[in-house]
């Protein structure tokens, strides 16, 4: 059975393997052992409540109960930009008009922004290509919402998610070629690696301080503003089904969209219910919809996908699931149905 759990130190080799499969462009999952080890340690210290809010971040893995091997990763940053500035571009408009000449032009612009400072961030979502079947992607991405729902007080009001922008098989980004390369004088992959390994001072030092006119960019760069990498399109659809929206903020490196939503308006947060546990060895009714099911154990958080009735008075599970979820009869589990179109097994 596939399940979500907090990251462990022993996951480092598997996370390095995952990082090597991203193909670049996933800034928060660099193929760098020291950076990933530090990320794991920071996550463990967050669970131990040993860090201030500005430094807190949770990392989860998708694992197979038979092997315990980590085959996917997802994370939540509690509050971005409180320690190091968190940048993106705001896509806006400047009006140039002359009443005398009867000329009125709306010109689209990119302006450096810190508007999402203090938001919680969904990040570092990656699933091993060998496991991109069934509902593993939904489990990996949406498990974070049940954690947020259960431990709401630990997160901020606004939640954002930076989506990976368009790049080709060689890692070339048309947005970077037209914008970033002019200011940073380095390859996209190099800037992406520096940012992913925490070396971000160069962003503030070298980024443009004034608005950029989008009309001056190449047609290729203009076309990818607010667009996602083909491999990221499913992840965007998952978030938009939960209520996230693109509100004209894009990544400064590849032009990918930033999606955002009020935490209490996220569908899975809003609609999840607590159901008491009952044990039974009768096979689950396969006609019931697939539901995300999470325990309420902060230190040993678990999420699985089960056929269940989210409107029932109880949730019935077998002994194997109860042991995996570290629960017993009388305990309660948090349950929410997948979105329409996602629920069939």
Active-site annotation, residues = 229
CA dist list (Å): 232 to 25, 157, 241, 277:
11, 25, 14, 36
Helices assigned H by DSSP within 199-283 = 201-206, 219-224, 233-241, 267-271
What count of Cα atoms within 13 Å lies in the side-chain half-sphere of residue 95?
A: 5
DSSP 88-140: EEEEEEEEEEETTTTEEEEEEEEEEE-TTTT-EEEEEEEE-GGG-STTHHHHH
Say if residues 54 and 82 touch (Cβ distance below 8 Å): yes
Q: If we measure between CA atoms, which residue out of 98, 142, 344, 334 comes closest to residue 234? A: 142
Q: If we measure between CA atoms, which residue out of 18, 47, 43, 49 comes closest to residue 33? A: 18
Q: If we measure between CA atoms, which residue out of 39, 41, 40, 42 comes closest to residue 52? A: 42
Cα separation, 289 vs 21, in Å, equals 32
Residue 337, beta-bridge partner list: 291
In terms of DSSP bridges, do strands 257-262 and 273-279 run parallel, antiparallel, or are they unpaired?
A: unpaired
Q: If we measure between CA atoms, which residue out of 335, 336, 332, 337 comes closest to residue 296? A: 332
Residue 326 in tokens: 């570290």
Say if residues 20 and 31 touch (Cβ distance below 8 Å): yes
Nearby residues of 118 by Cβ (< 8 Å), 6 or more positions away? 79, 80, 81, 82, 156, 158
Cα separation, 71 vs 138, in Å, equals 14
Cα separation, 96 vs 155, in Å, equals 42
DSSP SS3 for 218: coil
């Amino acid at each position: 059975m596939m399940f979500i759990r907090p990251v462990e130190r022993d996951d480092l080799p598997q996370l390095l393997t995952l990082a090597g499969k991203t193909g670049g462009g996933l800034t928060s999952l660099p193929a760098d052992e020291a950076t990933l080890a530090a990320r794991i340690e920071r996550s463990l210290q967050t669970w131990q409540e040993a860090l201030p809010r500005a430094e807190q971040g949770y990392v989860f893995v998708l694992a197979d109960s038979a092997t315990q091997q980590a085959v996917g990763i997802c994370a939540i940053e509690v509050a971005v930009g409180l320690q190091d500035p968190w940048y993106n571009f705001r896509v806006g408009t400047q009006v140039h008009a002359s009443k005398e000449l009867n000329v009125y032009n709306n010109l689209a612009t990119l302006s450096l922004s810190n508007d999402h400072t203090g938001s919680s961030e969904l990040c570092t979502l990656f699933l091993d290509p060998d496991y991109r079947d069934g509902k593993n992607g939904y489990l990996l991405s949406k498990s974070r919402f049940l954690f947020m729902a259960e431990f709401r007080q630990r997160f901020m009001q606004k939640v954002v998610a930076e989506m990976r922008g368009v790049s080709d098989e060689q890692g070339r980004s048309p947005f970077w070629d037209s914008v970033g390369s002019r200011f940073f004088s380095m390859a996209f992959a190099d800037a992406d690696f520096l940012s992913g390994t925490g070396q971000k001072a160069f962003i503030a030092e070298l980024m443009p301080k004034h608005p950029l006119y989008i009309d001056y960019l190449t047609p290729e760069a203009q076309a990818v503003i607010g667009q996602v990498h083909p491999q990221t399109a499913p992840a965007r659809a998952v978030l938009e089904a939960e209520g996230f929206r693109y509100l004209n903020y894009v990544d400064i490196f590849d032009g990918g969209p930033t999606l955002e939503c009020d935490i209490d308006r996220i569908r899975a947060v809003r609609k999840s219910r607590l159901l008491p546990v009952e044990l039974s060895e009768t096979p689950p009714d396969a006609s019931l919809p697939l539901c995300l099911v999470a325990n309420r154990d902060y230190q040993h958080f678990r999420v699985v996908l089960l056929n269940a009735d989210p409107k029932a008075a109880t949730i019935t599970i077998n002994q194997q699931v109860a042991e995996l979820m570290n629960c017993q009869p009388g305990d309660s589990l948090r349950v929410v149905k997948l979105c329409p179109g996602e629920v069939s097994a």
